[in-house]
Amino acid sequence: MANKTSIVEYWDYVFVDLGDPRTNDWPLLGSPIPGLLILAAYLFFVLYAGPRYMANRKPYNLNNILVVYNAVQVYISVWIVWEALDAAWLKKYSCFRCEPVDWSVNPESMRIARGFYFYFLAKISELLDTVFFVLRKKDNQVTFLHLYHHTGMPMIAWGAAKYYPGGHGSFIGLVNSFVHIIMYTYYMLTAMGPEYAKYLWWKKYITTLQLVQFCMTFVHSMQLLFADCDYPKWSVCIVMPNAVFFYYLFMDFYRKAYNVSHERKRPVTIKGEKTE
């Protein structure tokens, strides 16, 4: 009984006492279990159940669904970028200094916290990217990079929304959501039919934009090593290694997809590496 009580007390300490009381009770934030169950179901479907189900079936034609889905993702990303700029980065935050979390309960700080929460929900909704790949039998697009991103980002976004919904970490969400505006616009136009292909010459630059994103994330997070603003320095142990890892994976993809020194370019679709 003593051990059981200790486990319960530790659980409450980590997932209740340490959490931001403003967001602790919001759906999916109170405990990590619902989110982990969603991710487990996601991985089970895309790695096992989905491919088995589609093994003897023709690919589904989901173009109409994809147009709507990508349009919704563009709208969500635009809204998050606007909220981040109007509530923080154009008014009270600076890219050139460390920014603390405003723990007060007022319209401005709650607006920022709400933006973090919707960013987390957006990462959950983006799991459908892979589901659509499986249903369209695009199994070659379910890569390590794709799965690593789609399982890792919801967990990171959950932690940010629960423990530190504001301050320095919001820069990542701002830049990432801006990239997603461009990225999901491209996917929406692609799903609208081959007649739009002539307008999609810029797909190569999406990967370039993503590489720039990781550099910006790395440099911005590095400020925490030299400044003290009541934002956890340990967060760099998560953000900076992931930024370097993603940069390496995307650069490897970019070289394979667009290296002009190859004798023959292989047709590679950026959507196959649909990540941040």
Which sequence positions are flagged as catalytic? Answer: 149
**Among all chains, which residue has been given the structure tokens 């920022």?**
112
Cα(first)–Cα(last) distance of the chain, in Å? 46
User: Could you count the other beta carbons within 10 Å of the beta carbon of residue 213?
Assistant: 20
For tokens 């789609």, name the residue: 150
